Every structure is written in C-alpha cells, then in structure tokens.
Amino acid sequence: MTEKTSDWKTVSIRQELVKEIEEALRTGRYRSISEFVSEAIRLRLEELMRTQGIPAEKRKEALTTPGQLLYTPKHTWAQITSEGNIRVGVSDYAQRHLKGIAHIMTDPVGKEIKKMEPLGIAETWMFMFDLYAPISGKIVKVNENLKNDPTIINEDPYGDGWIAEIKPNNSLTLEEELKGLLSAREYTKWVEKLEGRLRE
C-alpha cells in the first residue's frame, strides 16, 4: 500500500460493501482475508492514537512496532499473527492476580467461540478465572506448553504465555468487534479505575 499510515481512514464494513471487498480481493488490493484482518487492526490502532492526539509521525512509528495489543475489560489481550489469526492471552495485571496457577483449560481446537464468551479457565489453588475471547471465530491453536507449565503466564504474559489463537470467521463483523476493544492507554485507565474501587 502506497498511502501513508496517517492518511488511512477507518471504513465501516456493512452488508452493502461485501461486493466491494470481494472486488478488492480480485484486483489485488488485498492478497488474502488474513491481510484484510491485519489492516483492520492497524486501522483500529491508528484511530485510537489519532483520537488521543498522538502526532502522525509517532502514530506511524508505533504502528510498525511489534507487539501492539488491544484489550478486553476482562483482562485478555488480542494480537494479530502473521497468519491473520488473533492471538489471545491475559494481561500483566491479570497474571499478577493469578499467582499459583495450577492449570489452564481451554476449549478444543475447532470450537466456535463468540466475543466476550469464555474460551477457557485459569485455575489457581484458590479460585478459577474465566478467559474471555476478544473476538468471535474458531479456535485454531492452543499453547500446549501451558499444560506442562502454566506459570509461563506469570513469567511472560505477552510472549510465551499466550493462551490460544482464534481465526476470525466473519470479516464483516470484525471491525465492529475491534471497536469494542481497548487500547493500552484505555485499558490502563480501566485498571486504575478498578484499583480505585478495590481501595475504597
């Protein structure tokens, strides 16, 4: 794409635009649905940073930095993979409250899941914590390493401690689902609000 990141605009994807998306795929604008998903997430991040007053050059720099994440209010994060899937894990805030993780249970590969529905459970010695899906789709991969050592989540929640990957099954609703997620800044404010309630 030759356009500068700062010139990108968020396009609302509705039913009447289906043919235009299909045409874009045919004419080579997108080589695959995975590329479309990746751009949709970049556009969402661009929109968030623009509304927060971050200068264009800083936005461009940030969007090329690996590890950009979106969050749910339920303390799970979403990250695009090179295959166009959405990798899911728990935030650092969540892992700090999940000391002593004894077991991670997830739905099996192939299971259809809806946004903000549990896709698994993190079990500690004292309680169980539901793991919520940030988007709708099909589970295509789970982190097998967590079966033998679930404490990887505590050691590296944004890296080796990832939990599962979801393949979006409806590109028409993906944009709307992404709009419901939080930027890192918004998530930090949400956590601060929760911490304030806990201290009251």
CATH of the domain at 158: 2.40.50.100
Q: What is the DSSP string of 13-68?
A: --GGGHHHHHHHHHHTS-SSHHHHHHHHHHHHHHHHHHHTT--HHHHHHHHTSTT-
pLDDT value of residue 29: 53
The domain total for the chain is 2
Within this chain, do residues 11 and 84 fall inside the same structural domain, yes or no?
no
d(CA 1, CA 154): 38
Within this chain, do residues 13 and 38 fall inside the same structural domain, yes or no?
yes
Within this chain, do residues 55 and 75 fall inside the same structural domain, yes or no?
no
Within this chain, do residues 93 and 171 fall inside the same structural domain, yes or no?
yes
d(CA 37, CA 168): 8
Within this chain, do residues 94 and 33 fall inside the same structural domain, yes or no?
no
pLDDT value of residue 83: 82
158: number of Cβ within 10 Å: 17
Within this chain, do residues 58 and 113 fall inside the same structural domain, yes or no?
no
If DSSP codes are grouped into helix, strand and coil, which group holds residue 181?
A: coil
Within this chain, do residues 54 and 100 fall inside the same structural domain, yes or no?
no
Domain-terminating residue out of 63, 86, 113: 63
Question: What torsion do the CA atoms of 99, 178, 163, 66 make, to the nearest 10 degrees?
Answer: -90
Within this chain, do residues 15 and 101 fall inside the same structural domain, yes or no?
no
pLDDT value of residue 200: 47
Within this chain, do residues 56 and 154 fall inside the same structural domain, yes or no?
no
Within this chain, do residues 34 and 78 fall inside the same structural domain, yes or no?
no
Range of the domain at 19: 5-63
Q: Is the dihedral of CA 34, 38, 39, 43 positive or negative?
A: positive
d(CA 165, CA 142): 6
- State the amino acid at position 192 in one-letter form: E
Within this chain, do residues 53 and 20 fall inside the same structural domain, yes or no?
yes
Within this chain, do residues 176 and 121 fall inside the same structural domain, yes or no?
yes
pLDDT value of residue 67: 39
Cβ neighbours of residue 54 closer than 8 Å, sequence gap 6 or more: 62
* Confidence (pTM): 0.66
The per-residue pLDDT string of the chain (200 residues; one tens digit each, 9 = 90 and over) reads 444 444 444 444 445 455 555 665 566 555 555 556 656 666 666 666 666 665 655 544 444 333 378 999 999 999 888 887 899 999 988 888 887 888 999 999 999 999 999 999 999 888 899 999 999 999 999 999 999 999 999 999 989 999 999 998 777 777 788 888 988 888 888 888 887 765 54
